[in-house]
Amino acid sequence: MNPPPPFEGTLIWEGPQDNQPFDYDHYNRSTLLSFAGGAQIRASAPSHFKGDDTRANPETLMLASLMQCHFLTFMAVAARAGLAVSAYTDHASGTLGTREGKMRYVEVRLHPRVRFVDAAGATRLPELHEKAHANCFMANSVNFPVLVEPDLG
C-alpha cells in the first residue's frame, strides 16, 4: 500500500488581548487550527499552563489522536472479521511527567467499550483490540506506552 500524501494544517494565533502585557503570565494562547477539507479546532494551552480549558490543547489533542486512531483501526479490524459493531465509546487518560529532563507524556491509557450487533463477537474483543493496537498509526508513532484496557464485560 502506498502512503497517503502529506497531511497539512494551518495555525493562526488570535493575537494579543486588549490591554494585556506580553509576558509569560498574560499573553494570549488562543489559536485556530485549520485543516484541508475545512475541519477547524479552536485551541489553547491547558489552564495549568495559563490557557483556556474550554478549548482543545496539545495534551487533549494527543489523547484525541490516540483514541480516534484506535477506534478507526478497531472498526476496520472488526469489519474485516465480519463483526458488526453497534456501539463504541472510549475514555482515555494521559500522564505527563519528566523523562530525560523534559516534560512529556509518559503514558496514555485507553479504555474502549465495544458492543456488537451479535453478542458472540464479545468473545473476540481481546484479539481485536490487540490487532487494532498493533496497527494503530498514532500509537506506533509515539515514544511512550499506550495501554489499551478494554471493558470486556
pLDDT tens readout for residues 101-112: 999 999 999 999
Radius of gyration of the chain (CA): 19
**Which is nearest to 113 in space by CA: 148, 65, 77, 73?**
148
CB 97 within 8 A of CB 135: no
18 pLDDT more than 90: no
Query: What does pTM read for this prediction?
Result: 0.92
CA distance 59 to 35: 19
Q: How is residue 79 written as a grid cell? A: 469489519
Q: Picking from 13-17, 33-37, 77-81, which range would have the lowest pLDDT averaged per residue?
A: 13-17
Does CATH number 3.20.20.10 belong to domain 58-148? no
